[in-house]
Amino acid sequence: YIKIVQAFERNHNGGECMRTCLNERERYNIEYALKAGQTVQQIAATLERAQSCIYAEIKRGTIEQLNSDLTVRKEYCADVAQRRHKEKCQSRGVGLKIGNDIQLATYLENKILNNGFSPYAAMQSAKKDGYNVPFGLSTLYNYIRGGVFEKLNKKHLSRRRKHNVHMRQAKKKYNKNVLSIEQRDRDINKRQEFGHWEIDTVVGRQGTTTCLLVLTERKTRYELIRKMSHKSAECTAAELDRLEKEYGDKFKRIFKTVTSDNGCEFFGGGIVNKSIYGGERFKMYYCHPYRSNERGSNELQNRFIRRFIKKGIDIAGVSKKRVKEVQDYINSYPRKLFDGLSAADMLAHETGFI
């Protein structure tokens, strides 16, 4: 590991820095162009660099020179700019950041490789566990790209995927006896109040019946996952009955509204939303057909589940203990959305609930 770090230092900090920095040849071109009377705009166009980059470089390399009449003039010197650049690179090098801290490097590598954490989540987890992390996220990405972590490569860099959303025309109308998401209070969209959930099911291999009931709280992203023997309204109602008994008097404060898709497991002629104590459990709203983005939190959380329970697996073979482990992993995952806090941390702020 130490040899890899030393090689990274030589490649990126001992001489030239990252590819985004100007090199020595470009600095001499800037000096020559300025003496020839070219403008910053012309120099930037010639070197194919941003004008702000050229301005910053001129500022870095500008020195004062004495004229023959002892007056002072300011001019750009490529040699001075190159020397200052090298000094800055060496002062911020790897040796002063991750250096020989093999324990920290091993921790980050294991979190990313074995626990499926993003680089950001791995860093936040390290800080939470008491490690001194003397560098930022961009530096960690540079370490991974530069080969500091032997087992990690570019495929482990967390990137958001862009999805093209194709809206399909609705082929069925709402049941007149249920509430549309259009009737839901618009303040719920602001995610400022705890107690508004999204519900969905995650199915297993085609031809099997066992599935997972998934509930996601919109404000904290707290996740509840329950294993069901069938994807049916009766099983959904039975599982919600258990939750209602589990939370008792707190249930109404925890579950104020629930938003679902138009799956048959959420209708059942009203049995899903029928409280064991009589009346409604909560206000239940239904999304538009083919609009999964109206339950965006739910859908994103399902990706976490698929890391451990792949498509094509018979969920009947997944133990309830394993389902609980997946739930705990999701709830303890550090999130950039919450400045490194997890859903469980956010829930802890909602005192008196769970």
Instruction: Give the lowest-confidence range in 54-63, 147-156, 340-349.
Output: 147-156
Query: What confidence category does residue 16 fall into, taking pLDDT thresholds of 50, 70 and 90?
Result: very low
C-alpha distances in Å from residue 134, one per residue of 85, 96, 337: 22, 8, 22
- Residues with Cβ within 8 Å of residue 145, at least 6 apart in sequence: 154, 157
Type of residue numbered 98 = I
pLDDT above 70 for 274 = yes
Sign of the alpha-carbon torsion through 32, 38, 40, 42? negative
Q: What is the pLDDT of residue 166?
A: 53
pLDDT tens digits, 201-221: 999 999 999 999 999 999 999
For residue range 254-269, what is the model confidence (pLDDT) as tens digits?
A: 999 999 998 889 987 7
Higher-pLDDT residue of 325, 16: 325
**165-199 residue pLDDT tens:** 454 544 444 455 688 999 999 999 999 999 999 99
Helices (H), 129-232: 137-146
- Pairwise pLDDT comparison (35 vs 177), residue with the higher score: 35
Q: Cα separation of 193 and 221, whole Å?
A: 12
DSSP tag of 180: E
**pLDDT digit string (tens) for 62-104?**
998 888 888 888 999 999 988 888 877 665 544 446 666 788 8
CB of 31 closer than 8 Å to CB of 24? no
Reading the block at residue 23, the tokens are 């090199």
Average pLDDT over residues 245-261: 92
Q: Closest by alpha carbon to 116, among 308, 285, 269?
A: 308
Q: 21 or 28: whose pLDDT is higher?
A: 28
Distances (CA, A) of 65 to 34, 40, 194: 15, 21, 65
Q: Report pLDDT for 213.
A: 96
> What is the per-residue pLDDT for 123?
92
- The two beta strands, 257-260 and 223-228, are unpaired
Are residues 119 and 144 in contact, defined by beta-carbon separation less than 8 angstroms? yes
Give residue-wise pLDDT tens across range 305-349: 998 999 889 999 999 999 999 999 999 999 999 999 999 999 988
Which of 102, 96, 149, 140 shows the shortest CA–CA distance to 122?
A: 140
Among 322, 197, 200, 307, which Cα is nearest to 251's?
Answer: 197
Kindly state the percentage of the chain with pLDDT values over 70.
83
Res 290: pLDDT: 85
Task: Write down the pTM of the prediction.
Answer: 0.69
Q: What is the pLDDT of residue 18?
A: 42
Of residues 12 and 272, more confidently modeled: 272
Q: What is the pLDDT of residues 93-137, one digit of tens each?
A: 444 466 667 888 889 888 888 888 989 999 999 999 999 888 888
- Contacts with 168 (C-beta within 8 Å, 6 or more apart), sequence order: 289, 290
Task: Compute the distance between CA of residue 140 and CA of residue 245 in angstroms, rounded to an integer.
Answer: 46
